[in-house]
Amino acid sequence: MNEPRYIPGHHLLEDRTAVVTAAAGAGIGGATARRFLEEGARVVLGDAHARRLEETERALAAEFGADRVAALPCDVTDEDQVRALFALAERLHGGLDVVVNNAGLGGTAALVDMTDDQWSRVLDVTLNGTFRCTRAALRSMKAAGTGGGVVVNNASVVGWRAQTGQAHYAAAKAGVMALTRCAALEAAEFGVRVNAVAPSLAMHPHLVKVTSAELLTELTAREAFGRHAEPWEVANVIVFLASGYSAYMTGETVSVSSRHP
């Protein structure tokens, strides 16, 4: 199987301001921040990992310019930190055009062994965090009154497909899909679109740390192309949803997967 070809930027997000959560490091959030910069956007990055976020901000600013990259530590389970992140985007750039809700937390536990804390922690980060950030985004975009804003949520194919040990994560991601549909109807009234992506398996260092090699090998074997996705391949779909090329799409969840049944 040939390696995927990296697609250069085409100015699809020129002069747009984007907030991206969980954007530090080499995962989907970090890849999305880079792709947005390559497409001409300004980015404001949030992440709960302050050191990793600072390293990401420094590297991107050196490559794309300090005036186009800003960052603030943000735990999406903390409403004050969410508000501070969005306030930073408004203060620096006068508002925001795109929000990517990428923050999520996984884990593996059989339902019969799962604790209340395990369940609640995954739901609070993955679903409630997406709710808090979507609410902040829509409040800002509605107040601006200009229309044209976009929210893209990161869901997962496990929101559709059953997988053992993933009851909490699957429930949270299915909730993200439902939240996306409902928010889209409300946001349409003031000209804002809300969509989601549902990746299957995008490999990055953080995933390797929390998932067994055996499970990753098994999941990779199920993919039609016989390989996992690169994080930037998911980011490309997020760019599409954030751009004018998807101007008539809202309330949709787009599968980013080659997996066969």
Give the DSSP letter string of 203-220: --HHHHHHS-HHHHHHHH
**How far is 92 from 94, CA to CA, in rounded Å?**
6
169: amino acid identity, one letter:
Y
SS3 113: coil
Contacts of 222 (CB under 8 A, 6+ apart): 259, 260
Catalytic, out of 6, 169, 245, 248 = 169
**How far is 23 from 204, CA to CA, in rounded Å?**
13
Give Cα 65 to chain centroid, integer Å: 23
248 counts as catalytic:
no
Check if the beta carbon of residue 233 is closer than 8 Å to that of residue 202: yes
188: amino acid identity, one letter:
A
Burial label for 21, CB within 10 Å (0-12, 13-18, 19+), is buried
Residues catalogued as catalytic: 169
